[in-house]
Amino acid sequence: MKLQRKEISNEIIGKHSKINTKDKDDVKKYLSELIDLLNKYEYESDSDFLFCGRKKFVYDEINGILDGTIDSISNPIYFVLGSLEEFISSNNYINPSDDLYNNLKYSELINKNNNYSIRGIICLEEAETIRKIIKNILDHLDTFIL
């Protein structure tokens, strides 16, 4: 069974705002439930998945907050969990600055991204990226929650 973006969106949107992001156990439980949800599905590789545009921006922003290169966020874990929800729930948006990503012109990127988005399924590459984000959050919890 493949994971539909709409299905997981309905499951997780706003969920981070209902947990105590200052309690390490609550955050771990939330992330564990998310991993369990991801693990219920099978994933296939999709050459139309593009790791650029808005997805790459959100990914970099999460990692910047976690590694301390972005430090102006008042509640970093809350922000990061909300960004994770956005990464999972939202389709990607390609920017003109992504031109020549993987040696593809902007118009080709738009076409590939549209093809991927229309299917509405989270592919193997995206699922692996989500798992990387979750692992990185778990690895940095002690930095933000004592």
pLDDT band, residue 145 (cuts 50/70/90): confident
Q: What is the mean pLDDT of the chain?
A: 95
Quote the percentage of the chain above a pLDDT of 70. 99
pLDDT band, residue 72 (cuts 50/70/90): confident
Helix or strand (DSSP H, E) at 122: none
Quote the percentage of the chain above a pLDDT of 90. 91
In a 3-state reduction of DSSP, which class is residue 90?
coil
Is 69 a residue whose pLDDT tops 90? yes
pLDDT band, residue 1 (cuts 50/70/90): very high
Is 99 a residue whose pLDDT tops 90? no
> What's the rounded Cα separation, in Å, for the pair 3 and 22?
30
The pTM of the full predicted model, rounded to 2 decimals, is 0.95
Is 146 a residue whose pLDDT tops 80? no
Percentages (nearest 5) of helix, strand, coil residues in the chain? 65, 0, 30
